[in-house]
């Protein structure tokens, strides 16, 4: 039996909507990363982008378990000496709740060209509205 590799023409991409209201960040990120990567499909190929488009709404209503809201710190660096910046999860939830979900999902994707292509298929919105009605997205449970 030969191993089948998926070609671009064989990939059927769908659009899904995920509601982040009262969802736990890690569990939501796992579900989104699996669908972005395409691991839920029988045609999954590790070296090809077989995943679907994911729209996450209500990002500002996401939940973090335990004391992570106060203890979890997100760092980034400006590139200059002494340019490290830090924000707690609480500060980031107030200013940019979309970033928390994007960072959690990005941590679960491959760190190469393929992963950078996959993360572009993730659309995260603060409220319940999104501009992708024309793609007729399905609700992902």
Domain assignment present for 74: no
Establish if 105 belongs to a structural domain: yes
Is 72 within the bounds of a domain? no
Determine, yes or no, domain membership for 36: yes
pLDDT in tens, 94-130: 999 999 999 999 999 999 999 999 999 999 999 999 9
Domain residues for the domain of 112 are 14-64+98-139
- CATH number, domain with residue 123: 3.90.1180.10
**What pLDDT was estimated at residue 39?**
95
Res. 9 pLDDT band, cuts 50 70 90: confident
Quote the mean pLDDT of the chain: 94
pTM over the 0.75 mark: yes
- Could you tell me which of 27, 26, 47, 22 has the C-alpha nearest to residue 37? 47
What percentage of the chain reaches a pLDDT higher than 90?
87
The answer to the question of residue 93 being in a domain is no
- Report helix, strand and coil shares of the chain as percent, to nearest 5: 35, 20, 45
6 pLDDT band, cuts 50/70/90, is: confident
For residue range 18-45, list pLDDT tens digits in order: 999 999 999 999 999 999 999 999 989 8
| Angle at 106 (CA atoms; ends 101, 111), nearest 5 degrees | 175
Whether 84 is covered by a domain: the verdict is no
Q: Is 75 helix (H, G, I), strand (E, B) or coil?
A: strand
Q: What is the pLDDT of residue 32?
A: 97
């Amino acid at each position: 039996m030969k191993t089948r590799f998926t070609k671009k023409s064989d990939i059927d991409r769908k659009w899904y909507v995920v509601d982040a209201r009262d969802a736990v960040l890690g569990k939501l990120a796992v579900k989104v990363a699996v669908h972005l990567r395409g691991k839920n499909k029988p045609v999954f190929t590790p070296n090809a982008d077989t995943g679907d488009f994911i729209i996450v709404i209500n990002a500002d209503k996401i939940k973090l378990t335990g004391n992570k809201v106060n203890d979890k710190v997100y760092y980034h660096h400006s590139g200059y000496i002494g340019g490290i910046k830090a924000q707690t999860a609480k500060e980031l939830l107030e200013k940019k709740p979309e970033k928390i979900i994007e960072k959690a999902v990005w941590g679960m994707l491959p760190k190469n060209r393929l992963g950078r292509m996959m993360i572009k298929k993730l659309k995260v919105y603060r409220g319940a509205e999104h501009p992708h009605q024309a793609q007729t997205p399905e609700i992902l449970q």
